[in-house]
Amino acid sequence: MISFIRLGKKRLTLRQSLDRTHLMVSLTAVCLVGGLLTAMAMLSLRFYTDHNLDLVARAIGYTTEAAVVFQDGEAAREALQNIASHEDVAEVSIVLASGKLLAYWSRPASLPWFALERQLAELVLPGPIELPMIHNGHEVARIKLVGHGQYLLSFLVQVLAAMLVCMLLSTLGALYIARLMQRSITTPLRSLAQVAHGVSRERSLKLRVPEASITELDTLGQDFNSLLDELEAWQAHQERENASLLHLATHDNLTELPNRALFEARLQQAVNNGRARAERFSLLYLDCDNFKQINDNLGHGTGDEVLVAIARRVQHQLRPQDLVARLGGDEFVVLLSPISADRDVVDIINRIGKAMAEPIALADDSRLDCTLSIGAAHFPTDGDSAEALLQHADHAMYLAKRQGKAQRARESEVHTPKEESR
């Protein structure tokens, strides 16, 4: 039942409300003014009819005086008909002083609207007019007239037509005025509602309310715009804060490279794309040789400089679509995606090796030699999951590190006899 009531209830728009209000005001004003004017006109018409009937009675008295004196009924009836038929008279009679009816005339009842005219005459017009006929100082007869409503009905019809025309003109005027008011009232409110809708539904804080011609509405719009300015500034601040927090959560503080969390997400995405699109990619696992000795002998500050230098040099050797990240300590990983041929991986590893062959310049103007051990894993040859690829690349890196240590040990044995002979 409640849902039915909510569905059946229809709210009016401001435009409809203004139109309805103007129509009600206009029609009420027209009805009040029309009713007042009609009442005044009816009073005037009543006074005019009373005076007119009195004049008609006097004219009949002058005309029929001779017929009354000689009691000529036929002549009196002809005189009554000639005079009363041209006036707004329903019936007229001449009664002698003795009470005898000398002459009588009445309007034919077959005429259109006769009954309605007669009822209007009884309701509005004054009662029967009686006028004595005096001859030689004596009353010889009495004339009695009853008014007819023909002119009254015509007057009322004209008044009704005028009121309808006035109502029509007032309605058109009210609608026109309502349209003018809508331009100054509803247009700014509609703009304000559209901006509020855009902000609430689409989060469009760049929208603004235009200026209005009405002071109160313009002040409301400007205040709303000021609020939007504050919200937009707050949103921009929040976006910067969120971006900063996201960067801190997904990047290493020292090297500014992506951290383990971001790398694992990108690696999983590469695995998914590789499975769906049959794309190949490779994973490089990098570890700094003898980094512990650097930290122990030269300090953690120097170790941090070395890590930053390694990150920059490795990053400069990669393609734009590749990703290098720091997993922690002196361990780095590189995601090469996509790979069209194995030689692309070999070329990148060689470029990284050449870049690391140059000594690292430290803050104290000293230079330090540093090498990297690199292990590679290829999708899907060396694994079809992120964990398998990481394990394979890590294992390959340790193999490369042991081979590098063995190579350096052999080189050390070769150089030792020469130094002793010296």
Residue 222: strand, helix, or coil: helix
Q: Which of 88, 322, 330, 394 is catalytic?
A: 330
**Is 330 an annotated catalytic residue?**
yes
In sequence order, the 6+-apart residues with CB closer than 8 A to the CB of 114 are 107, 108
Closest listed residue to residue 382, CA positions, set 281, 268, 286, 264 = 281
Instruction: Give the whole-angstrom CA distance, residue 171 versus residue 400.
Output: 95
**In this structure, are residues 267 and 335 in contact, taking their beta carbons and an 8 Å threshold?**
yes
Interhelix angle 215-250/187-202, rounded to 10 degrees, is 10
In sequence order, the 6+-apart residues with CB closer than 8 A to the CB of 249 are 261
Instruction: Give the whole-angstrom CA distance, residue 148 versus residue 144.
Output: 13
Q: For residue 336, list its beta bridge partners.
A: 282
Tell me: cis bond preceding 338? Omega within 30 of 0 counts.
yes
Query: Could you give phi then psi for residue 132, rounded to 5 degrees?
Result: -75, 145
Inter-residue long-range contacts of 111-119, CB under 8 Å, 24+ positions, other chains counted: 113/150, 113/153, 116/149, 116/153, 117/148, 117/149, 117/150, 117/152, 117/153, 118/90, 118/148, 118/149, 119/149
Catalytic center residues: 330
